[in-house]
Structure 1
């Protein structure tokens, strides 16, 4: 039953009316900034214009401009992959959504979700990340957002086209900061505590969390951080960003001196150029992927550096961090490719060379010994996942620890999905519906009722961390903070357990890489 009684809230820009859905108050599509269209394309976000009367906020806002299936997933996977939203795409996309256990009284912890999809796709309106079930588990407020993506969010034009494009290479990240400012200024009216905001995100959303931790403008707007399979150690520098911007202008037939014409182009043309440039990134070396294509650009000002190279950002030293990965991240992206399907120990070295160069045979030998009985395809997928996700996540954990200013908690998600004959195992993104306790809306997780208990355990860990800065709770084994001595790691599976330095042999392969 949907009721709208008593669900009107006063924000700084005007009143909004939400719905009550099974006891949770829900507000969808609240504008947190002016639509970044026309002359405001590539400009930093502006505060929303006030309105009179009551604005209906019962349906999600538009999704940011993006292409379909940018990761080229096969159809059998796409059917299970209900990660995307279903809204229309538009440049007018600066909207946020709120789920709250109650509008009155108590100051509830706020969980602020940054969606994944690299920096080119995704939305805050996925059925997997509906915040209502977290509110049903405990007294919390959940916020999700849309922001500019791809060329409209991350086109570093200022070095070639001057001041009129200042900040264009970080526009999408500045949108997220604007949404966090909106939360600071308004969330108390929705029952949330502006002094206790946890930013969390998976994949590209985890990378957004990393970047926020290094942005001076975001300082003080969040108090805890969670990075799920989304480590960003090193982002694009000015040269990288300018190269991508040049490629986009070339695709559009514009010289740098004509960059002002970008404002008049139909957005479909910009997306076409973006797709053409993105296609070249798909073939580039794995190690350079954060520096190519559309990423926040280190401009020395809005985004000063790193975010985690050469060390953790000092401005967020005091922020507790939870960070983790999934056991078989890359089955999602690689499992259907010929080199994986046809892998043997005779041809694996060649397949691994683009990833590892001359280290290929040495690394394969170490993994084969550490993971005896595993097939060649499993070893290959494990190596790429550790190279690109796990080793970088552990590097972030260590650099954060080295500041001796806040606790770090590390997890490994190991539950395997039975769908598609089990070929995905514990793939990238699989933990998201567990974190949000939305397993009924995630066909990727199959239908075994045994998985439901893990969803509740994980959701409660995320809530505990948002409340106290520590994810432990009564339904989990004791979970101490990470240290380089014991490397305690929570393994999330049908049975959760604490392990010391799981896959330590493999971890050491990457230590000096």
Structure 2
């Protein structure tokens, strides 16, 4: 069935029924599932044996007077809302997914469920694990509508309920105004985007049983910025109890923004717009407000102004993984991963961007470290040339920038969990993308398609050959096992032990996957010479 209009939908949980949607010329099409949620009835469609609901509204319109405020639940409705097209994504400087609307009215989520209709509709009592995916794009862009996150294959393979979500981004979700305007309506402005995710999880708690899922077994997983959002949620008391497993994929959040730096950034944003009062800021058209993101960041002294979660002493009263792992999240089993060649994913998959000389590596490394670590690049290059004498300049550049840019933060999360007696299952993807003969190695984002099984999705770097299918099955099963029990072991994997400080056990996903103790240990020890600073904080 083809959706012909974008719909605004709301959601929650109760019973389910089936009713036919009219489809011209096809009298015997699968019948369309109707689910009764706490806000009203919603109608999805069936695809490859999976019931799909898109654009389910979990929050009210966040525009107008609600701009910068904490989200609220939607108003109930009495008719049946079509849930056959993705809802709008948050306002952002990019274009969003193909054909996707951008709006402040963006609090929507999507559900894929293998539950079959019965006497109680989709609420069949099976209590399937819920795999709730949070998209990447830092805190600035992206949406849950990417074809890479299409949940049909994952739902079928694992007999799980898959959820993706949209929430407020950039200044709409993270502009900290509380110290600039004495107005209670902006008290939560620095973490509004995180509170959107909390509201979405409350929707899952209240509604997912109606879709055949178990509200008592919700796993968060997310790549890049999605992983960072999850790490932040693990330090938020208001999110405690709403999820029961967590997997961060190439995305970590050791510290969040302090209130004074966040205020300086907000002031730079306002100065760029030429706005001095809250009423004028709220009245500004949403697309014009995005122009403030072009302000020079006053802390980094370069680039656009950073937006991210803030230590506001309301929803966030301490850093997620500093000075240790937040006690709020210690009861949640955790998986923490990175890819071997993260920064090869940040060059647009352009082989011409590979540095060719040692001088070029030395010149470009500081920009990659981007205030995360402060270390002499000549010393870095000398270390790598001695440790890996066969590495080319490009090999050293990508290895060093990966180690100093994001891998270091993943190690901190693993270490702090281990110190607290609640270790993480650490992983590293070594399996190489077949793109252009494998020259891009295992870059940032490669684990998305492997876990979802969306091997042939538009723009995929995973490939759809036999090796790709085998690697995808292995990774997907590990995530499904983790969602089901909090332990990724089983299937084709060798034994995978939680991370300890003594051994630093790490699952290396490759054509032949294996557990290794302290992979890249020499690099880890080398970068321990200098402190790591989470970018933006």
Q: TM-score, normalised by structure 2?
A: 0.87
Q: 1:298 to 1:230 in 2, by over 3 A?
A: same
2:270 paired with 1:277: no
Structure 1 CA distance for aligned equivalents of residues 296 and 211 of structure 2: 40
Of 386, 394, 406, the match for 1:389:
406
The 5-angstrom pairing of residues 242-257 of structure 1 reads 242-255=263-276
Give the secondary-structure state (helix, strand or coil) at the position aligned to 2:144. Answer: coil
Partner in structure 2 of residue 435 of structure 1? 451
Q: 1:376 to 1:340 in 2, by over 3 A?
A: farther
* Contact residue 507 and residue 514 of structure 2 kept, 8 A: yes
Partner in structure 1 of residue 14 of structure 2? none
2:183 paired with 1:166: no
- Note the C-alpha offset of 1:341: 3.3
Structure 1 CA distance for aligned equivalents of residues 261 and 114 of structure 2: 44
* Contact residue 132 and residue 164 of structure 2 kept, 8 A: yes
The 5-angstrom pairing of residues 169-318 of structure 1 reads 169-255=190-276, 258-274=277-293, 276-277=294-295, 284=302, 293-318=306-331
- Deviation string 1:101-150 (CA, Å, 9 cap, x unpaired) is 10212101111111000000000011111111111112211111000011
- Note the C-alpha offset of 1:339: 10
- Note the C-alpha offset of 1:199: 0.8
Q: 1:265 to 1:121 in 2, by over 3 A?
A: same
Give the secondary-structure state (helix, strand or coil) at the position aligned to 2:153. Answer: helix
2:166 paired with 1:146: yes
- Note the C-alpha offset of 1:512: 4.6
- Note the C-alpha offset of 1:216: 1.0
* Contact residue 349 and residue 440 of structure 2 kept, 8 A: no
Partner in structure 1 of residue 463 of structure 2? 446
* Contact residue 429 and residue 509 of structure 2 kept, 8 A: yes
Structure 2 CA distance for aligned equivalents of residues 401 and 14 of structure 1: 44
Q: 1:358 to 1:263 in 2, by over 3 A?
A: closer
Q: 1:357 to 1:155 in 2, by over 3 A?
A: closer
Give the secondary-structure state (helix, strand or coil) at the position aligned to 1:113. Answer: strand
2:479 paired with 1:462: yes
Of 150, 153, 160, the match for 1:133:
153
* Contact residue 116 and residue 202 of structure 1 kept, 8 A: yes
Equivalent pairs, count = 491
- Deviation string 1:252-273 (CA, Å, 9 cap, x unpaired) is 1122xx1221111111110122
Structure 2 CA distance for aligned equivalents of residues 452 and 351 of structure 1: 36
Partner in structure 2 of residue 73 of structure 1? none
Higher mean C-alpha deviation, range 207-216 or range 328-337: 328-337
- Note the C-alpha offset of 1:449: 2.8
The 5-angstrom pairing of residues 361-510 of structure 1 reads 361-404=378-421, 406-441=422-457, 442-510=459-527
Structure 2 CA distance for aligned equivalents of residues 336 and 282 of structure 1: 26
Of 320, 328, 335, the match for 1:322:
335
* Contact residue 177 and residue 266 of structure 2 kept, 8 A: yes
Segments of structure 1 that go 5 or more residues without pairing to the other structure are 70-82
- Note the C-alpha offset of 1:93: 0.5
- Deviation string 1:489-512 (CA, Å, 9 cap, x unpaired) is 111112212211111111112235
* Contact residue 85 and residue 127 of structure 1 kept, 8 A: no
Give the secondary-structure state (helix, strand or coil) at the position aligned to 1:302. Answer: coil
2:139 paired with 1:119: yes
Give the secondary-structure state (helix, strand or coil) at the position aligned to 1:200. Answer: strand
2:37 paired with 1:11: yes
Give the secondary-structure state (helix, strand or coil) at the position aligned to 1:431. Answer: helix
Structure 1 CA distance for aligned equivalents of residues 111 and 296 of structure 2: 32
Q: 1:434 to 1:278 in 2, by over 3 A?
A: farther
RMSD, aligned α-carbons: 2.2
Partner in structure 2 of residue 80 of structure 1? none
- Note the C-alpha offset of 1:281: 8.3
Give the secondary-structure state (helix, strand or coil) at the position aligned to 2:288. Answer: helix
- Deviation string 1:404-432 (CA, Å, 9 cap, x unpaired) is 1x341011011112324544221101110
Give the secondary-structure state (helix, strand or coil) at the position aligned to 2:167. Answer: coil
Structure 2 CA distance for aligned equivalents of residues 340 and 34 of structure 1: 44
The 5-angstrom pairing of residues 348-367 of structure 1 reads 348-354=361-367, 355=369, 357-367=374-384
Structure 2 CA distance for aligned equivalents of residues 53 and 254 of structure 1: 42
Structure 1 CA distance for aligned equivalents of residues 472 and 211 of structure 2: 26
Q: 1:20 to 1:376 in 2, by over 3 A?
A: same
Q: TM-score, normalised by structure 1?
A: 0.91
Segments of structure 2 that go 5 or more residues without pairing to the other structure are 3-28, 116-121, 531-537
Partner in structure 1 of residue 52 of structure 2? 26
- Deviation string 1:82-109 (CA, Å, 9 cap, x unpaired) is x945411111110000011102121011
Q: 1:26 to 1:335 in 2, by over 3 A?
A: closer
